[in-house]
Amino acid sequence: MKTTLYRNLSKCFHSKNVLDMRLHAVYGKRTQYSQGVDISDLPIDDQAVLYVHWPYCSKRCTYCNFNKYISRNVDNERMTRCLMKETQTLIECSHVSRINSIFFGGGTPSLATPRTIAKVIETVTKTTWLHGNAEVTLEVNPTHLETGKLRDFRSAGVNRVSIGVQALNDSDLKLLGREHDTQDSMRCIEEARNLFPGCVSIDVIFGRPGQTLGSWISELQKILAVSDQHISLYQLTLERGTQLFKWVQNGLIELPDEDAMADMYLEAVKTLEIHGFKQYEVSNFAKNGATSDHNTAYWTI
């Protein structure tokens, strides 16, 4: 049976920001560990997947309450050193002898330098065993700047990308506070599919303000026309503290009701299935077996 060990070992960058790195191990017996457990008490296991959080974004999206800081002046050298140290410490303290996959998430890790990503991967390979074909995913925001870095990310050791497309509709992208438009997404997907064939995922949010089942059905067709072999569909969650939350509270905009959301979800599951995308988690769909190794280490349905 697969279980997950969640450890967030250090919060050490500078006063405002935190480093967030997690090692998820596969255990034979279900055991819950909370923060504060003495690391020496942890059972030794040989397999783990590694999540590395890049906590910076260049702009705050109106719906997002993830752990992120808005900064265009990141000290990349310092972040690289901290992430390398954190990677080494986490792996050594956890006694894992094998890392099966790495996932760079955020925040916006595609704003990191390819050198930072390369150095973290190199630290993993120096500290433990990383299979030559291990999945190494990077979340990418499809702006012009970040699309231009994809080739260098590949040289750094990334072999799979997850693109935050969110919507194929420019007015919705504006409402969500995104920095890209539909054209940017198209360019990014095309470039990514050239560089990482079969290993490109796209993230889309549904249940957006004003969205109808009819508009969602036609948007799904556009998504299918450009997508590679993996799609993640997330229902928009109204998060307290976000701009979107305030707009809805003040009656300025409305989200589709629960029944409409459910219809959109069921429609998506059905349409994707018809096009060969098998659902392997609530929000994740893959065709031709292109499931994410990293995702499946966390959850399956």
Ligand X SMILES: C[S@@+](CC[C@H](N)C(=O)[O-])C[C@H]1O[C@@H](n2cnc3c(N)ncnc32)[C@H](O)[C@@H]1O
> Could you list the residues that contact ligand X (CB under 6 A)?
63-64, 66, 105-106, 108, 139, 141, 164, 166, 203, 205, 234, 236-237, 239
159 neighbors 200 (Cβ within 8 angstroms):
no
Dist. CA 42–CA 128, nearest whole Å: 18
Half-sphere exposure of 75 toward its Cβ, with a 13 Å CA cutoff? Answer: 8
Other beta carbons within 10 Å of 148:
12
State the nearest-atom distance from the C-beta of 291 to ligand X, in Å: 18
Residue type, 250: N
Residue type, 10: S
Nearer of residues 243 and 296 to ligand SF4, judged by Cβ:
243
- Three-state SS at 150: helix
Nearer of residues 127 and 284 to ligand X, judged by Cβ:
284
State the nearest-atom distance from the C-beta of 1 to ligand X, in Å: 28
Select the binding partner of residue 234 from ligand SF4, ligand X, none (C-beta < 5 to 8 A, by kind): ligand X
204 neighbors 185 (Cβ within 8 angstroms):
no
Compute and round to an integer the Cα radius of gyration of the chain.
19
Select the binding partner of residue 60 from ligand X, ligand SF4, none (C-beta < 5 to 8 A, by kind): ligand SF4
Choices 57-65, 116-124, 186-194, 247-255 (CB under 6 A): range interacting with ligand SF4: 57-65
State the nearest-atom distance from the C-beta of 64 to ligand SF4, in Å: 3
Choices 76-84, 103-111, 126-134, 144-152 (CB under 6 A): range interacting with ligand SF4: 103-111
Alpha-carbon separation of residue 121 from 87, 106, 194, 239 (angstroms) = 9, 17, 23, 33
Select the binding partner of residue 114 from ligand X, ligand SF4, none (C-beta < 5 to 8 A, by kind): none
Residue of closest CB approach to ligand X: 164
Choices 28-36, 105-113, 117-125, 229-237 (CB under 6 A): range interacting with ligand SF4: 105-113
Binding to ligand SF4 in span 125-154, by CB under 6 A: 141
* Helix 182-195 and helix 213-226, axial crossing angle in degrees, nearest 10: 30
